[in-house]
Amino acid sequence: MNKINRLFNEKKNNILSIYFTAGFPKLNDTAKILQHLEESGVDLIEIGIPFSDPLADGPVIQHSSEIALTNGMNLKLLFEQIEAYRITNPHAQIPLILMGYLNPIIQFGIEKFCKKAKDCGISGIIIPDLPLQEYLDDYKRLFEKHDLKNILLITPQTSEERVKLIDQHSTSFIYMVSSSSTTGSKGVMSEEQLTYFNRIKNYSLNNPTLIGFGISNNQSYEQACAQSNGAIIGSAFINAIKETMDLKKDISAFIYSIKNSILV
């Protein structure tokens, strides 16, 4: 069974997924971050493929991509780093997802990309700029051949018909973008967002959902978990490690702060 499906079979609520950009803050930090995140009790990890024009990403992730590219990160090296992590952590059960844009994947070679992803233990792919119909026509067969789950996104503007179509063609979970803006820390959910989450919940979808964009602290994490199966955090995590002198300590402290309500 695909590790993403196993996760959602075993855990229905309060799933915490963390996104980080490969090659940031330092080129060879990927394996260390993966290990520290798993040790900290994260349920799912999204590894960002740095790209020069990440349209859906806010300034924090854009900046981390710029630094990662300047550091020398590329897809070939990323696969080598993930494979090395898997070799040194053969019993790691946490699902890994690659998140990136279509252009660098096509340049790498889509079939080669899928094979490499499968070989190094990737369970799913998120490609925000891959249209559903193009996926169904051109890539679905390849993704299924290599047991890679294609995670599709919905936004507050996605119609009920479209949401149900995406649900029909999903086989892991649906990424609920919390707002129509780019990624970034917001801190608290608006009434408009909560109305949107309730609307999606009332559709009684077949697939679980995770809410991303704007989750940055315990309060917004708990709000997201109340409206879905869990939350995805990216920009806030990247901010937490951008100037770290001790990855293990800062990652552990950040994950603890998200999972626990700290009274001041």
pLDDT tens across 135-170, in order?
999 999 999 999 999 999 999 999 999 999 999 999
Q: Looking at 10-14, 17-21, 98-102, 184-188, which range is the least confident one?
A: 184-188
* pLDDT band, very low/low/confident/very high, at 191 (cuts 50, 70, 90): confident
73: left (phi over 0), alpha (psi -120 to 50) or beta: beta
Q: Which of 38, 57, 160, 192 is an active site residue?
A: 57
Q: Looking at residue 26, what is its pLDDT?
A: 97
Average pLDDT over residues 114-133: 96
**pLDDT band, very low/low/confident/very high, at 56 (cuts 50, 70, 90):** low
57 catalytic? Reply is yes
Residue 52: per-residue pLDDT: 84
- Which pLDDT does position 179 carry in this prediction? 78
Q: Give yes or no for residue 185 having a pLDDT over 60.
A: no
pLDDT, residue 182, reads: 47
Is residue 254's pLDDT more than 80?
A: yes
Residue % of the chain over a pLDDT of 90: 86
Question: Does position 55 have pLDDT exceeding 90, yes or no?
Answer: no
pLDDT in tens, 94-111: 999 999 999 999 999 999
Catalytic residue among 46, 66, 80, 137: 46
What confidence tens digit (pLDDT) does each residue in 209-247 have?
Answer: 999 998 999 999 999 999 999 999 999 999 999 998 899
CB 23 within 8 A of CB 68: yes
3-class secondary structure per residue, the chain: CCHHHHHHHHCCCCEEEEEEECCCCCCCCHHHHHHHHHHCCCCEEEEECCCCCCCCCCHHHHHHHHHHHHHCCCHHHHHHHHHHHHHHCCCCCCCEEEECCHHHHHHHCHHHHHHHHHHCCCCEEECCCCCHHHHHHHHHHHHHHCCCEECCEECCCCCHHHHHHHHHCCCCCEEEECCCCCCCCCCCCCHHHHHHHHHHHCCCCCCCEEEECCCCCHHHHHHHHHHCCEEEECHHHHHHHCCCCCHHHHHHHHHHHHHCCCCC
Q: How much is the pLDDT for 263?
A: 43
The overall average pLDDT reported for the chain is 93
Mean pLDDT over 110-129 rounds to 96
Residue 233's DSSP bridge partners are: 18
- Assess whether 243 carries a catalytic annotation: no
Q: What is the mean pLDDT of residues 20-46?
A: 97
Domain 13-259 part of CATH 3.20.20.70: yes
